[in-house]
Chains A and B, each alone.
Chain A
Amino acid sequence: MLTSLLEELPRFLGYYNVVFLLKAAGITLALSAVGCSLGLAIGFFIAMVRVTRGNLLFPVRAVCVSYVEFFRRIPFLVTLMVVFFVFQALGWNVTVFTVALTSVCLIAASYTAEIVRSGLESVNVKQWEAAETMNLNLIQTLRWVILPQAWKVILPPAFSFFILFIKDTALASQIGVVELTYAGKILNNKGFSAMLVFGSVLLLYFIISYPLARFGAWMEKRLVLSKTGKR
């Protein structure tokens, strides 16, 4: 068993395969990075709408709340399928990468909206009231008063969500995006040992996400320290 694996190893680590796997890892990273940044932007906008008051914006708020609640409660795989078939029904000719990216954006927006909202709510109410007294409008309040205090609360969970999503993009292999998992499947179909292929795919995911996770933990520690003033 082990000897046959060892015999296969040099063939598996040929130039073409390594480049293929690394490219796939790049696509995994791109998918999650781009999706999460776009998602964060949309999520931020949703969170901003949710802190507004007044009856005029009530329908918009309702839409935002139901959007967030809905997309946090359906699996990524089902979202992928729905987006895939909706694009198909609309007759748009888009690549599967776009489909995956759209779904990542949709999901990421709803999760980050919650993260940002909890961050905004963590700022003391008095600060909001003070800003109102100073006659700042919503944008100004957020820009000059709330965000400088809230980003420390928002950033660590947003970052760990991003890491979580690197792993969830594995599901995009189901619609045929050539990312890390799909690359593993292709190599497996070419006759390489599943042990070897999926083992190295696991290892690559680990290599991508472990340093990021450590960095996130370090950042969180730093930020908590700087917030409580105990340096």
Chain B
Amino acid sequence: MQIAFLAFCGGMAIGLFGAMGKTFGGKFTKGAVSAYVSFFTNTPQLVQIYFLFFALPEIGILLSSYEAVLLGMTLNAGAYLTEIQRAGFVSVHRSELEAAETMGMSLFQSVWYVIMPHVVKVLFPPLSNLYIIMTLGTSMAAIFGLEELTGRAFNVNAVTFRSIEIFSLTAGLYFLVTVVASLILTLLGRWLFRVKAKVF
């Protein structure tokens, strides 16, 4: 859960800059951001983390398993979030931006004060969806020996051999966690941004 939250925040930051670069940047920035996005969205997260964990030590960068998983998930989330936020940016009307420019706002100011208030409402549902997907994605950390929910299940399984019970329980726990998370997110969305969404 902690990994999902941290990676989501990191990914948000990357995604924000990525989306800004892709919408307002010059040719080079646009190309670089598109390359980053298409690379990370078209390769599996697991193999990305494998690469970070096993290949980077060869050039002298040693990451602990926690760092590798966190970094991998952040980069991956950043790519998806770039796309989502870019879609939001595009939906803002051209004249709003021109108005912001007339007011003498810098790029950051216009993104923060003009675009953001518009798009949070549109962006909230896909963002909360991605958050749930990332919570499920943290189960990958178990492969690298981290003690999160699935990892703990692997370890307990190795001790007790009661496989079916343990993994069914794990599945149930994930279900519970994501149900609670999406409930909170939907309610939050309703109160903050008046998103009209069903709870289920």
Which A residues have a C-beta under 8 Å from some C-beta of B? 1, 69-70, 73-79, 81-82, 85-86, 88-89, 163, 166-171, 173-174, 180-181, 184-185, 188, 193-195, 198-199, 201-202, 205-206, 209-210, 213
Contact = CB atoms under 8 A, between A and B. Distances in A.
Contacts of B110: none
Contact of B41 (A1, A79, A181, A213): A213
A78 B179 contact: no
Contact of B140 (A77, A166, A199, A210): A77
B39 A206 contact: yes
A79 to B, nearest CB: 7
B108 interface: no
A193 B57 CA distance: 11
Contacts, number: 117
B174 A75 contact: yes
Given A181-B47, A206-B42, A188 B178 contact: no
Interface string B137-172: 111101100000010010000000001100110110
10 contacts: A74-B136, A76-B139, A78-B150, A78-B167, A85-B164, A195-B51, A201-B47, A210-B42, A213-B41, A213-B42
Contact of A198 (B55, B137, B140, B179): B55
Interface in B17-70: 38-39, 41-48, 50-51, 54-55, 57-59
Contact of B170 (A78, A184, A205): A78
Chain A at the B interface: SS class: helix
A158 to B, nearest CB: 17
Given A82-B171, A174-B143, A206-B39, A199 B45 contact: no
B87 interface: no
Contacts of B167: 78, 81-82, 85
Contacts of A166: 44
Contacts of B46: 170-171, 173, 181
A89 B164 CA distance: 8
Contacts of A81: 153, 163, 167, 170
Given A73-B136, A173-B46, A194-B55, 4 more contacts: A69-B200, A188-B54, A195-B51, A210-B42
Contacts of B187: none
Contacts of A185: 50
A180 B139 CA distance: 20
B44 A170 contact: yes
B48 A202 contact: yes
A82 B164 contact: yes
B176 to A, nearest CB: 9
Nearest to A168: B44
B132 interface: yes
Which of A70, A74, A89, A202 counts the most B-chain CB atoms under 10 A from its CB? A74
Contacts of B178: 73
